[in-house]
Amino acid sequence: MDLEKLSMHLRNLASLSESESSMISCYINHEAGRGSYRDAIDARIRGIRNLPSSDLRLDFEVALGRIEAFRAVDVNPEAKGVALFCAGGESPFFQA
């Protein structure tokens, strides 16, 4: 990724409005293989799914679905990893 594109991504993240919905942020390392992140992320997902608010849980599931859809088709095979930022709720957001 070039510096101009990285700067744009950082500006987008910095300009997000505060929201009740949680922001999912993660870095997935591809150097150990495409599926190597799965065990670690699945353990964290199980913990997060215990959120007390059903609205927050729904927002989380929407955001997680967007990440999973991206992982299924949009990953550059030459990339060493990808940083993902995603939120559901009233103001959905996704950036990779």
Could you state, in order of their start, the residue ranges of all structural domains in the chain?
A: 3-95
- 38: helix, coil or strand? helix
Q: Residue 49: is its pLDDT beyond 80?
A: no
> CA 84 to CA 75: how far, in whole Å?
11
User: What's the rounded Cα separation, in Å, for the pair 30 and 77?
Assistant: 9
Mean predicted confidence (pLDDT) in 36-47: 75
**pTM of whole model > 0.85?**
no
Q: How far apart are CA 33 and CA 94, in angstroms?
A: 23
What's the pLDDT band for 34 if we cut at 50, 70, 90? low
